[in-house]
Amino acid sequence: MLALKTEKQLKNLGLNSYEVKIWVALLSMGKSTAGELSDITNVPRSRSYDVLESLKKKGFVVMKLGKPIKYIAVPPDKAVENAKKNIRKNASKEIILLNNRKNTKPIDWIVYLHTQGARIVETADLSSALRGRDNIYSHISCMMKRAEKNIFISATQEEFIQMVEKLRPSFERLKNKNINIKILTQLNRQTKKYADKISQFAEVKHTDNKARFCIVDGKEIIFMVLDDTEVYPTYDVGIWVNSLLAKELERFAWREANF
């Protein structure tokens, strides 16, 4: 029980389970090789080198060159000070990112949701929040199947490429239903190739804005609130709204796009 409590407390220093095990083992041994630490802690040997490299960057171990390479644990009091520095540094970066995002398109959408949509959206209308890019694209595919008139998509250039690769079969099926598909993205030499692939199914236009959303028939919308270049796909977040608000946002988006 004490070991579990200790591990939990040490994680507060910004360490994961493997890092805690290896650092504690190294503290008791003085110095050791990656292989020895793997055997003692049961951390997979293939991971021990990455874990030690991470601990070195965080200021918890130092590397002693030689054959074989050995590692020495940084004393706890010094390691704690290094952890504080890391936390301050990461917090400063996050604050800068948040400040930079204040006037970005995704934040504009959220503000629009609040200021224009509060009066027409009931709590039950906010149907779900989706986590993970695969789940988001799967939901977009389902939305597209329900389309009766039009689909309006805005995507970053990286996301546009992924959508063409993952959703092209959906675009093809919609052609037979005469669904009007319009897509905004950053057109360049690379994305132009993908735009050409779906040109018979959708109209693709250039925009410098990097808003991420999909609106179907002005009835439902899914919009992604994070920058897809800064978030790992597993942690991407999409919010699906099924209400009159989608129609309001569609009008807003069409005006912005000049379609």
User: Hey, where are the domains in the chain?
Assistant: 2-97, 103-257
Averaged pLDDT for residues 119-142: 73
Distance of alpha carbon 116 from alpha carbon 159, whole angstroms: 27
Can you give the length of the chain in residues? 259
Is the pLDDT score of 63 beyond 60? Answer: yes
Token duo for residue 173: 């099926």
Averaged pLDDT for residues 54-83: 87
Averaged pLDDT for residues 98-114: 63
Is the pLDDT score of 31 beyond 70? Answer: yes
CATH superfamily of 103-257: Endonuclease Chain A (3.30.870.10)
Contacts of range 223-228, beta carbons closer than 8 Å, 24 or more positions apart: 223/106, 223/109, 224/106, 224/136, 225/106, 225/110, 226/106, 227/101, 227/106, 228/133, 228/156, 228/158, 228/159
Is the pLDDT score of 125 beyond 70? Answer: no
Distance of alpha carbon 41 from alpha carbon 37, whole angstroms: 6
Task: Report the pLDDT value the prediction gives residue 248, as an integer from 0 to 100.
Answer: 59
Is the pLDDT score of 254 beyond 70? Answer: no
The dihedrals phi and psi of 141, each to the nearest 5 degrees, come to -60, -40
Task: Report the pLDDT value the prediction gives residue 186, as an integer from 0 to 100.
Answer: 92
Distance of alpha carbon 50 from alpha carbon 70, whole angstroms: 14
Distance of alpha carbon 236 from alpha carbon 177, whole angstroms: 31
- Please name the helix (run of DSSP H) or strand (run of DSSP E) that holds residue 61, with its range, or none: strand 61-64
Averaged pLDDT for residues 170-180: 85
**In CATH terms, is domain 2-97 a member of 1.10.357.10?**
no
Task: Report the pLDDT value the prediction gives residue 253, as an integer from 0 to 100.
Answer: 61
CB crowding 163-178: b at 16 or more within 10 Å, else e? bbeebeebbeebeeee
